[in-house]
Amino acid sequence: MSQLSIFRGAIASSFTALMLISCQTSDLGTSSPTQEPLSNVQKSATNPKAVQGLTHGPIVNIDGEDYYLAGVPDGMNGATDIPGHYWRRTGDNALIGKHFNTGPFGKAKWWNSSVPDGALLYIVNGGIAEWSIKISKEKAKMGFVHYHEFVRVSDGKLHPTKVLWLQHIAVRHFYLDGGPHPELTHFVRPGIDTDFIPNGMTPYQPE
């Protein structure tokens, strides 16, 4: 499968994720912020129902080798991951996840200072692919403006060529005023957040 085919396939994943937001309930346990009371949407990252079927710090096998997402070692058995993210693999090159308002080792309100601690902020679509300027431009059209690195489980080295391209679909209104880059503070509306740490045009340099 070509790299561009992966992202064309992600259009369907994006539509599915948007449908999850528009519906009152879904298999990911996501509720529409416009149809349900906020208390129903504000699921805690520590609530088993909110993360049922999802994993923080998953092992992702890529081309026969096991990788974690780069981050802090607050997953099971010291697995690393992006703070506040929980995942489920949905295909050879695809993951879907939830992004909660929690930080490294459960630090409260890490991504946003006013939304309740542990509240659901985004549904996240992820596509595993290489970085290239052609891929970057193609995926930017679909809202995949951020990529994140993989580190090998065995030795912590970055994957030599592949990253996880991410599309963040917000489920509420809020200011993204925290996280690893508070200098990129911006107002977020429900839907695809094209301002979420937009590093997609920055070349991936694992060495």
Domain ranges of the chain: 3-192
Please give the chain's pLDDT, 207 residues, in tens. 554 444 444 444 444 444 444 332 233 333 333 223 333 333 444 455 568 899 999 999 999 999 999 999 999 999 999 999 999 999 999 999 999 999 999 999 999 999 999 999 999 999 999 999 999 999 999 999 999 999 999 999 999 999 999 999 999 999 999 999 999 999 999 999 999 999 999 999 998
**Nearest-CA neighbor of 93 among 56, 135, 133, 121?**
135
H helix intervals, the chain: 3-22, 38-41, 133-140
Question: Can you point out the beta strands (E) in the chain?
Answer: 60-62, 65-69, 85-91, 94-100, 120-130, 146-152, 158-170, 174-176, 186-188, 191-192
In 81-112, which positions are buried (b, 16+ CB within 10 angstroms) versus exposed (e)? bbbbbbbbbeeebbbbbbbbbbbeeeeebbbb
pLDDT score for 52: 83
pLDDT in tens, 60-116: 999 999 999 999 999 999 999 999 999 999 999 999 999 999 999 999 999 999 999
